[in-house]
Chain A
């Protein structure tokens, strides 16, 4: 099976712009979770989508949003970018049951200048 894919892999944006990141889960997986990883804060949960519905949300401002499509692909959007949004954004895919593992994609490295 193909793994989790994320596009783009690298992105440079300026403050105030917005960005959209994409994640394609493993075939058959219905849950997609998004995480932000920074050196200072480590891996922090952003939100999770299951069957096109947001199932849980972390403690991030409303500038961070996401959605999931009927084919389970997911996008996350960050509006009005700030310097502090520079991070590695990882998505993780799982079948969506409580007993299942999560598998991570390679991440999108976002740099905000």
Chain B
């Protein structure tokens, strides 16, 4: 059965801290891994990773995939209160389908 596990489940930090969120996956015919940020509404897309070892960056956020060890990390540097959200990772299967298998998420709280 396909499975995505995120850790930690929750995290509380102070503004300015750097955080690392973890995602391990066991997904049949793995194709890519996606990261989303969910505040009160719909998840918003952050990154899609398909190749090992290539870091993707967007401002203070970055992410990398290790297809040998089956995990990904999401880094956020110089955290701000606006980064408070649930961060979701999802594995995408091959086979002509858009099915995503989601982890339960990491709830990040950034205190001023």
Contacts and interface: CB of A to CB of B under 8 A. Distances in A.
Contacts, number: 66
Given A31-B98, A50-B98, A55-B96, A105 B42 contact: yes
Given A42-B105, A48-B97, A99-B50, 20 more contacts: A4-B42, A31-B98, A33-B99, A42-B88, A42-B102, A42-B104, A43-B43, A43-B88, A45-B102, A48-B98, A55-B98, A56-B97, A58-B99, A90-B42, A99-B48, A101-B45, A104-B36, A104-B44, A104-B45, A106-B41
Task: Bin chain A's interface residue count.
Answer: 20 to 34
Contact of B48 (A31, A33, A55, A101): A101
Contacts of B105: 42
18 contacts: A33-B99, A35-B100, A42-B102, A42-B104, A45-B99, A45-B100, A48-B98, A55-B96, A55-B97, A55-B98, A56-B95, A96-B98, A98-B92, A98-B96, A104-B42, A104-B43, A104-B44, A105-B42
Interface of A: 4, 31, 33, 35, 42-45, 48, 50, 55-56, 58, 90, 92, 94, 96, 98-99, 101-107
Q: Which 7 A-B pairs have the closest CB atoms?
A: A56-B97, A104-B42, A43-B102, A42-B104, A56-B99, A48-B98, A104-B43
A58 B102 CA distance: 12
Task: Bin chain B's interface residue count.
Answer: 20 to 34
B29 to A, nearest CB: 11
Which residue among A31, A50, A92, A105 has the maximum number of chain B CB atoms within 10 Å of its CB? Answer: A92
Chain A at the B interface: SS class: strand
Contacts of B44: 104
Nearest to A31: B98
Interface of B: 31-32, 34, 36, 41-45, 48, 50, 88, 90, 92, 94-105
Contacts of A98: 31-32, 92, 94, 96
